[in-house]
Amino acid sequence: MDLKFGTDGIRGPVESKITPEACLKIGHATGLVMKELGWSTVVIGKDTRISGYMLESALQAGFIAAGVNVNLLGPLPTPGVAYLTKTLRNKFGLVISASHNDFLDNGIKIFNESGEKISREIEKRIEKYLSSSLIPVETSQIGKAYRFDESGPRYIEFCKSTVPSDISFSSLRIVVDCANGACYKVSPEVFEELGAEVITIGNKPDGFNINQKCGSTHPEIVKEAVIKHRADFGISLDGDGDRVILVDEKGSILDGDDLLYILAFANPNRTGPWSGVVGTLMSNIGLEDGINKLGYKFVRADVGDKHVSKMLSKKGWLLGGETSGHIICKDLVSTGDGTIAALKVISSLILLKKKPSEVLANYTKVPQVNIAVTVKNKDIINDKELNLLLAEIESDLTVGRVLVRPSGTESKIRIMVEASEEKVANKFAKDIKKIIESKR
């Protein structure tokens, strides 16, 4: 089995990689590492994919065979699992999800006792056991499984608690797109209980329609609904709820860079843990300039919210995120949380008494073009001809950047080009795409 941790856990097609056998092994291997560390209980949550039922049972069996007790949380956003891992004092939490991918994929994400993604050191220890035989503990030592029915209400109350008591959402009409995923129950309830009028879409999961022409990868759906219902905000979550894209009252789509800028702009304290902001290699160069002009330092981490989180810890800062919508507010949460990021952005705008466009008028993005090319072999990025082209493009760019990287979650190579003019960025991106396709 080719079971290795990538950018965001272990992910792949259910029919060939994330199979019941693979999940049995992952559960057992992770359980053995837990026992070595002196830990004996794990919580398991999942999104709404049809394969989740099958894989949950396999993981459960693997952990029990290793002598680890299991608390089953049912469908719950990834950040909700991270939160409960921490508050229930469990040492490990595990999520069955492939995030923004379609239902044909699934994956495993693992959190430590602090609600953060496990370290590479622990990932390597788990990978080592994945290649060994599965031998259950003695029958008297096998683990037990329990259902934890309060996971949704606990997470809802936590999300509400992050909004100051003097802030009211009662005057707001908000469209919430749950991507037919793990947020389909909890997120609309959060905004309703805070007083907003909520119009919910993407809240009818059938096991197959997760992320299907909805959610954060299709924010145009929320945009249409915001305009139709004359809403104040649109919130577009992904299948496991760890990323968010917002839409303002005019129908403008706000990505993770925009949300980071709003949060940085609204924060009056720019010293100590608030003295810097972490972005990624994908963050727009205009965001970096805008953040610097606000008086913050700006540092880029590798792509992936776990790398953003690690950089925040290294710097001792509290705010970071990705263009894709993973926003980490470390004063509140330990990982990317789409619902809480939306709450904090909207609360900040209420306090500022400003519309998003008024805040975002203070910084200017450089035109950026992103293309993904499906490949079988991601090693194409090392091709000599491709790298010669990239060097030529970089020498031609007076303003902007070029980045070509293998996706950590899909069989794709991702192309990003920034330039002073969109037509220039488009041309270079198409040239890169053409040469990659010729090498497939």
Per-residue pLDDT of the chain (440 residues; tens, 9 = 90+): 678 998 789 999 999 999 999 999 999 999 999 999 999 999 999 999 999 999 999 999 999 999 999 999 999 999 999 999 999 988 899 999 999 999 999 999 999 999 999 999 999 999 999 988 899 999 999 999 999 999 999 999 999 999 999 999 999 999 999 999 999 999 999 999 999 999 999 999 999 999 999 999 999 999 999 999 999 999 999 999 999 999 999 999 999 999 999 999 999 999 999 999 999 999 999 999 999 999 999 999 999 888 999 999 999 999 999 999 999 999 999 999 999 999 999 999 999 999 999 999 999 999 999 999 999 888 898 999 999 999 999 999 888 899 999 887 778 999 999 999 999 999 999 999 999 999 87
Identify the CA nearest to 414 among candidates 382, 388, 378: 378
Write the CATH number for 274: 3.40.120.10
∠ CA 203-206-208, rounded to 5° = 110
**Same domain flag for 26 and 139:** yes
d(CA 37, CA 58): 23
Q: Per the domain annotation, does 57 fall within a domain?
A: yes
What residues contact residue 244 under an 8 Å CB cut-off, 6+ apart? 216, 235, 236, 237, 238, 259, 325, 327, 338, 339, 341, 342
Q: In terms of domains, do 270 and 386 share one?
A: no
347: nearest Cα among 331, 361, 334, 363: 331
Catalytic residue IDs: 99
| pLDDT score recorded for residue 152 | 97
Shared domain check, 123 and 18: yes
Q: What is the pLDDT of residue 389?
A: 93
| Residue among 256, 212, 214, 240 at smallest CA distance from 99 | 240
Q: Are 262 and 391 members of one domain?
A: no
Do the beta carbons of residue 160 and residue 189 sit within 8 Å?
no
3-state secondary structure of 13: strand
Q: Which of 253, 274, 289 is the last residue of a domain?
A: 253
Instruction: State whether 215 and 278 are in the same domain.
Output: no
In a domain, 5, yes or no: no
Q: Is residue 347 a part of any domain in this protein?
A: no
Q: Are residues 225 and 263 in the same domain?
A: no
Name, in order, each residue with C-beta under 8 angstroms of 161's C-beta and a sequence gap of 6 or more. Answer: none
Cα-to-chain-centroid distance, residue 230? 28
User: Which of 253, 268, 296 finishes a domain?
Assistant: 253
Q: How far is CA 13 from CA 205, 305, 326, in A?
A: 19, 22, 23
What range does the domain containing 313 cover?
255-338+353-365
Question: What pLDDT does 101 receive?
Answer: 93
Is 396 contained in some domain?
yes
pTM for the model stands at 0.92
Residues 53 and 33 in one domain: yes
Number of domains, the chain: 4
> Which CATH number covers residue 395?
3.30.310.50
pLDDT at residue number 1: 61
Here the tokens at position 1 are: 């089995």
Do 43 and 143 lie in one domain? The reply is: yes
* Closest C-alpha to 110, from 82, 80, 143: 82
User: Is residue 4 assigned to a domain?
Assistant: no
- Same domain? 204 vs 95: no
Euclidean distance between CA atoms 428 and 421, whole angstroms: 11
Check: CB of residue 386 under 8 Å from CB of residue 380. Answer: yes
343, part of any domain: no
Question: φ, ψ for residue 176 (rounded to 5)?
Answer: -120, 120
